[in-house]
Structure 1
Amino acid sequence: MLVCATALVLGSAPAFAAGDKKTYEDAKSLAKQTYTGALKSCDPLDGNRKDICVADAKAARVRSEAEAEAAYKGTAKAREAASRDIAEANYKAAKERCDDLKGNAEDVCEKEAKAALTRARADAKANRKSVRARDDATKDKMKADYEVAKQKCDAMSGDAKDACTKQAKAQYPH
């Protein structure tokens, strides 16, 4: 029960501005504290149940720390790395759950865990590429809009043309 609550607490994405170091450090500290508490809740368990509990606690900590770091850095690359780290931790936890099974059921469980990892990696990569494509498209649009504004300014002369050109550069940075 505590592990589920831990996953909910740690699973929520940090809501802070990129570069907010204090909030980032606070999020990391909270992740560590929550992880320590979750590990203590695993102590009375034994065998694979304990292994699953520990793996879930680690996955929750990884999620919290990775999301905090991605939010702190605020880059597509950091978000992709966070997604990969979270996927790896979830994969390890899923594999622990598979250990309780036997025969074909265990094989299927492991294949499902591996497939989920592969999907998560592919999604992380695709998300980064789509962000990059959107950024490139935005730059292309701004450049085109600037060229139109600049052309309109060319019809003017003197101070009016200078003011128009200055405004176009400010409105459409390129």
Structure 2
Amino acid sequence: MNTLNITMITLAVAAVFSTGAMAQNISNNDYKAGKDKISVEHKSAKAGCASLSSNAKDICIAQADGKNKVALAELQVSYTPSVKTRYEVRIAQAEADYAVAKERCDDQAGNAKDVCVKEAKAVETTAKADATAQMKTTDANMTANEKTNAANATANEKTSAAKSKASEKKADARKEAAADKTDAEYAVAKEKCDAQAGVAKDTCLNQAKARFGKS
């Protein structure tokens, strides 16, 4: 995985979050039936891993567990659709992808494995940071709209204040997301430096610090 892949995943998460329509609530019976179906599919998927061995089996189980986690999160959106439950789907997907990617790293060894794990973690961190930023932005917009409607009945000054507050929240969310992604990418760069030694390693670390603004 590289910076391009991280960026593509980032854009995909943001696009899904911003365009996702509010789902219709399903009934209690449909919700319970959905959970039962997901449980059966999970057990079946894990049973299918039994014929495998070593890391291939671990990867298979991680995939089954991840799919189950995401499916339950998606079911929750259908049952109680909201900004929060849609956010939980993005988080579940990021964690599921990381669990599988981390297991795949076990096929490697030494520094190559360490870099693989750091890169997988960077992708997860990026996805989570973007999901969090998008949720905060959506909440800020909703709050701003509510306050704007209320302010219109009283004074334009309140409308401006509400919009200003929303802008501040969105800016803070973007700043937090950027910091999380920078830290994750810096961790990958440092791990790659461990494959070197002496002056070459020191140079590599100094370049990484300069690139990501670390002291």
Superposed pair shares fold, TM > 0.5 = yes
**Partner of 1:112 in structure 2?**
119
* 1:147, distance to aligned residue in structure 2 (A): 5.5
**Partner of 2:42 in structure 1?**
35
2:51 is aligned with 1:54: no
Query: Which stretch of structure 1 is more off in the superposition, 26-35 or 43-52?
Result: 26-35
Q: Unaligned 5+ residue runs, structure 1?
A: 1-12, 149-174
Cα displacement string for residues 60-104 of structure 1 (whole angstroms, at most 9, x for unaligned residues):
000000111133222222333333233223212211111011223
How far apart, CA to CA, are the structure 1 residues paired with 2:135 and 2:26?
Answer: 20
Amino acid at match of 2:87: E
1:137-152 to 2 correspondences below 5 Å:
137-144=144-151, 146=153
* 1:51, distance to aligned residue in structure 2 (A): 0.5
* 1:119, distance to aligned residue in structure 2 (A): 1.0
Amino acid at match of 1:86: Q
**Partner of 2:105 in structure 1?**
98
2:70 is aligned with 1:63: yes
How far apart, CA to CA, are the structure 2 residues paired with 1:72 and 1:126?
Answer: 24
Conservation of the 8 A alpha-carbon contact between 1:18 and 1:72: yes
Conservation of the 8 A alpha-carbon contact between 2:87 and 2:131: yes
How far apart, CA to CA, are the structure 1 residues paired with 2:91 and 2:119?
Answer: 17
Q: Say if 1:36 and 1:16 are closer, same or farther in 2 by CA, change over 3 A.
A: farther
Q: Find the residue that maps to 2:48 and give its secondary structure.
A: helix
How far apart, CA to CA, are the structure 1 residues paired with 2:136 and 2:27?
Answer: 25
2:74 is aligned with 1:73: no
**Partner of 1:44 in structure 2?**
51
Conservation of the 8 A alpha-carbon contact between 1:48 and 1:96: yes
* 1:146, distance to aligned residue in structure 2 (A): 4.6
What is the RMSD of the two structures over their aligned residues, measured on CA atoms? 2.4
**Partner of 2:93 in structure 1?**
86
* 1:107, distance to aligned residue in structure 2 (A): 1.6
How far apart, CA to CA, are the structure 2 residues paired with 1:20 and 1:50?
Answer: 37
Amino acid at match of 1:130: T
Conservation of the 8 A alpha-carbon contact between 2:105 and 2:117: yes
Q: Unaligned 5+ residue runs, structure 2?
A: 1-19, 156-215
How far apart, CA to CA, are the structure 1 residues paired with 2:34 and 2:153?
Answer: 42
What is the total number of aligned residue pairs between the two structures?
Answer: 135
